[in-house]
Amino acid sequence: MPTERVDYRRIANEIAGKIKSGELAPGEKLPSTRELAEQYGVHISTINRVMTILKDRELVEGHPGKGVYVAEAQS
């Protein structure tokens, strides 16, 4: 699935850019996985992959049952 591969990288980079620019502020809650999938027109599994990348980059923090938030400390 080459398209999905491109999509998750593009989406991860787009969200990372919004975080680094301050458009998404530290502590701000991201839309749900379902909302992001609808917004970007991709499958939920693609958004799950995006969240894994953003967590690995320490840009977001997941809080079970509450959602995913922009990490407080940006490197």
pTM recorded for the entire structure: 0.86
Question: Does residue 45 fall inside a structural domain?
Answer: yes
pLDDT at residue 5, as a whole number: 61
Question: Does residue 75 fall inside a structural domain?
Answer: no
Helices 33-40, 2-21: axis angle to 10 degrees equals 110
Query: What's the whole-number mean pLDDT along residues 54-69?
Result: 95
Does 46 have pLDDT greater than 70?
A: yes
Question: Does residue 55 fall inside a structural domain?
Answer: yes
Does 74 have pLDDT greater than 90?
A: no
Q: Assess contact for 70 and 62: CB atoms under 8 A.
A: no
Quote the number of domains for the chain.
1
H/E element holding 10? helix 2-21
Domain range spanning residue 19? 2-70
* CATH number of the domain where residue 32 is located: 1.10.10.10
